[in-house]
Amino acid sequence: MTRSRSSWFGLVRGLLVTVLTLALGTQPLAAQSILRDAETEAYLKDIAAPIIAAAGLQPNNVDIVLIGDKEINAFVAGGQAVYIHSGLIERADNTNEIQGVIAHELGHITGGHIIRNGEGAKGATGISILSLLIGAAAAAAGAGEAGMGVMMAGQQAAMGKYLAFNRVQEASADAAGVGFLEKANISGKGMLSFFLKLKQEEYRYASTYAAVDPFMQTHPLSGDREATLKADVLRSPAYEKRTDPAIEARFLRIKAKLIGFMDDPTSALRKYPETDQSMAAHYARAYAWHRGAYPDKALQEVDKLVAMAPDDPYFRELQGQILLESGRPKEAVAPLRMAVQGSRASPLIASLLGHALLATEDRANLDEARDVLKVAVSRDRDNPFAWYTLGMAYARLGDEPRAQLATAERYALTGNMGLAVASAEAAMSRLPRGTSDYIRAEDIALAARASARDRKR
């Protein structure tokens, strides 16, 4: 059986696309959603801070970002940010395991692995392009099957070379992570135990599909990683150090609320049955009942949490959120005020309070809503919902220029550059020239136009 000449060139084009994809890398954030939760973000920041400092980085400059995805995964994607899937936290047994993952990812950051990724891709691309050219020439000369064989062999060699480069980076990140943990006086037990979880996943995959080829993996096999690092982890003076019980209690809460929020409600209630009267179980059931549209049952669980810890800001946040989303905004205001105060004005919780104040439709609450939301966006400018709500507050107060400015901020954050420019220009037309708000609107318009031009290119 032979292929037509046009078919061969179609195959060449397809394989060139594969080569370019290999060279450019993947875009892991493209189809994933970021979860924002004040309690979880505070927890991740606290457990990562000593490791970040041990890595020679500034804790305030490194972000630990939660991705809403059930897969067990974590990654870096440029800059000083570590992305952790919610599924990884759900599968973790303790804080130390999450710290082991964070330490590994920081090894990628300090090693400059994202920047150096092009080195591995360059070598692989060279092999691929050469094999494509030779294969295409053979195909054009009539040796179709031979040409295809050359191309496919070249692709296999290129992928193998790229993956080998990637495995070296992963092993380097593992070693760096162990060093960071030791320097931070944190046990490496969690890193080893998490490798065992990954090892079990590999065995499950192999038994279901096919044997795992160690030379066609992006990471060294988990069993090999564990064996390589075990001696260094065991020698560490921090090996037997236990995690602070207060931190561990926070972990159980975070894990429970993620399961309650991310799992199907039936699944979450099965994992945390009514017989479990722990704080974490009440937390998980409150989220599960809320997601399942049973607000009364959700509030019953929250009431039990509040009885256990009346001043806990995150329990009050959840109480206010359920009331607000159940159409009871006036009742939501009091617990949300308590949550803002108890969390030291967490911007995420403050934006929720601002929303509740507006939802009461009481003009007496407008000034407070505006002021609360101004503080929220000053502390966290990357929250489109807060900017949207602030714009509503300004509009209801009759301050249209600043409503337009807040709208421009929101559109710029969400990538709608055309509307960002239009809103910024509308704000500039009515704001006093030279004021800080005018200058900010001007900056948004300039940046949005530049971004739109770059996209057209």
Residues 124-153: pLDDT tens digits? 444 444 444 444 444 455 555 544 554 454
Closest CA to 249 of 34, 45, 47, 36: 47
Least confident of 184-188, 221-225, 451-455: 221-225
Q: Going by C-beta distance under 8 Å and a sequence separation of 6 or more, which residues neighbour residue 117?
A: 25, 169
> Where do the domains of the chain lie?
5-235, 309-390, 399-457
Whole-number pLDDT of residue 392: 98
- The pTM score is 0.78
The DSSP H or E segment spanning 63 is strand 63-67
Closest CA to 53 of 106, 117, 115: 106
Write out pLDDT tens, residues 224-248: 565 667 777 888 899 899 999 999 9
Closest CA to 286 of 263, 254, 319, 313: 319
Q: Around Cβ 48, how many Cβ atoms within 10 Å?
A: 24
Q: Residue 64 gets which letter from DSSP?
A: E
Q: Residue 78 gets which letter from DSSP?
A: S
CATH architecture of 309-390: Alpha Horseshoe (1.25)
* pLDDT(8) > 60: no
How far, in Å, CA of 252 to CA of 403, rounded?
41
Here the tokens at position 221 are 């096999």
Q: Provide the greatest CA pair distance for the chain.
A: 83
Could you tell me what percent of the chain has a pLDDT over 70?
74
pLDDT band at 327 (very low <50, low <70, confident <90, very high): very high
